[in-house]
Amino acid sequence: MPEKKQKLPTLEIHGSASKKLLRKVTLTEISKKENLMRFIKSQGLPLASSCDGEGICHLCIVNETMVTCQMKVEELPAKGQIRKVTIGYL
Ligand code: FES
């Protein structure tokens, strides 16, 4: 009997301006605990910031309202195993 393939937890990073899927990353238990801003930057994507992650400038916002420097990857709402980030200016 064939085993049912289980989907892995994934983070999709989309660009709103480009209308492209910029990255699709499989999440580990460790990466889910990472700061979201640092995680996005570690994927080679530029994320604006002028307060160096102190939560003041709000340049690092994704999904229109989420301040990435103040949250963990696992705090993104998940649809099944997929979490999604949309960066407005990319
Ligand atoms: S980097 Fe300034 S609020 Fe997040």
C-alpha–C-alpha distance, residues 36 and 63, integer Å: 12
Kindly report, residue by residue over 22-51, the tens digit of the pLDDT. 999 999 999 999 999 999 999 999 999 999
In this prediction the pTM is: 0.91
Kindly report, residue by residue over 43-86, the tens digit of the pLDDT. 999 999 999 999 999 999 999 999 999 999 999 999 999 999 99
Asked if the model's pLDDT at residue 5 lies above 80, the reply is no
Distance of CA 27 from the midpoint of ligand 1 (Å): 23
Domains of the chain from N-terminus onward: 10-87 (3.10.20)
> Are 63 and 86 within 8 A, CB to CB?
yes
Distance of CA 60 from the midpoint of ligand 1 (Å): 5
48 lines ligand 1 (CB under 6 A): no
